[in-house]
Structure 1
Amino acid sequence: MFGPDKCGATNKVHFILKHENPKTGKYVEHHLKYPPSVPSDKLTHVYTAILKPDNELRILIDGEEKKKANFLSEEDFEPSLIPPKTISDPDDRKPEDWDERAKIPDPEATKPVDWDEDAPMEIEDEE
């Protein structure tokens, strides 16, 4: 679906791609994340969507480019046309003895022999 939508609080040029997932067979709508806004005057405008073979999308209003996007970019469409690189595992569980503390003290840790408690935390650069 492509075209202007100016009603109520909505003021944008929609671009929605309905795509069939080859694995599941379900159709999913992919919306352009940051669509250009519709001109706020009362004039007639020409809206153009150019879909290029290199997966580039260009939206023009009255012949002037207002938006450039890429179908394969995660930043341009919601949800992304490309599935995430990692898929969460619903069966993944933490071990029973998992420790949630951010820092775990090491009872065997010792400071070096030449450690100086009175030394400054940072040494200023002479230059």
Structure 2
Amino acid sequence: MFGPDKCGFNRRTHLIFNNGKDNILKTDDLPYKQDDTVSHVYRLTLRPNDTVKVEVDGEEIFDGSIEENWKYGEPAEIDDPEDSKPEDWVDSPMMDDPEDKKPEDWVEEAKIPDEKATQPEDWDEEEDGEWERPMIDNPDYKGPW
């Protein structure tokens, strides 16, 4: 069943599926668009991927999946009330691998001297001190181990 429904003070747009024995209502109401005296065009699109689109006068009022918006059929997963988390369960999304070893070619230095840099011609060691190459980001650095 699909369309506007005005019953006393209750006003809603119905979208109800029937599985052969039960009427299955949408979990949330659709907006009601019949508050005026003119006719409206209601359009229901059922897609092969089990999604639904509802339009009133060309304006989309709902677009979503049947599975998420109707209590239709058995749930994909059934919660086991007897199930509990093991005592030694680790909640952290990341954990160290105790078997892991640092590779021999692992680079520890985040910055390295710029080999392309040259000492300025007007550099005076007595006045300016010993010249050192500027440091740049090390392209081989992958972070701390």
1:83 pairs, out of 71, 74, 81, with 74
Report if aligned partners of 1:11, 1:37 keep a CA contact under 8 Å in 2: no
**Shift of residue 86, structure 1, vs aligned partner:** 2.1
- Runs of 4+ with >4 A deviation: none
Q: Which amino acid aligns with 1:45?
A: H
**Partner residue in 2 for 1:52:** 47
Answer yes or no: is the 8 Å Cα contact 1:6–1:38 preserved in 2: no
Higher gyration radius (CA): 2
State which of 38, 41, 46 in structure 2 corresponds to 1:43. Answer: 38
Does 1:61 find its partner at 2:52?
A: no
Q: TM-score, normalised by structure 1?
A: 0.55
For the residues of structure 2 that align with 1:48 and 1:14, how far apart are their CA atoms?
A: 12
Q: CA deviation at 1:43?
A: 1.1
Code of the aligned partner of 1:5: D
Task: Show the 5 A alignment for 1:1-127.
Answer: 1-20=1-20, 27-39=21-33, 40-73=35-68, 76-77=69-70, 80-84=71-75, 85-86=77-78
Structure with more of its chain in strand, by fraction: 1
Aligned residue identity for 2:50: N
**What SS does the aligned partner of 1:60 have?**
strand
1:87, CA displacement in angstroms? 7.0
Conserved? CA contact 1:45–1:62, under 8 Å: yes
Point out where structure 2 has 5 or more consecutive residues left out of the alignment. Answer: 83-145
d(CA) in 1 for partners of 2:26, 2:36: 23
If the length of structure 2 is used for normalisation, what is the TM-score?
A: 0.49
Aligned residues with identical type, % of pairs: 26
Please state which structure has a larger fraction of its residues in helix: 2
Note the residue ranges of structure 1 that are not aligned, 5 or more in a row.
21-26, 93-127
Q: Which amino acid aligns with 1:81?
A: Y
Aligned to 2:119: none
Using the TM superposition, give the Cα deviation of residue 16 of structure 1 relative to its aligned residue in structure 2, in angstroms: 0.6
How far residue 41 of structure 1 moved from its aligned partner, in angstroms, is 1.2
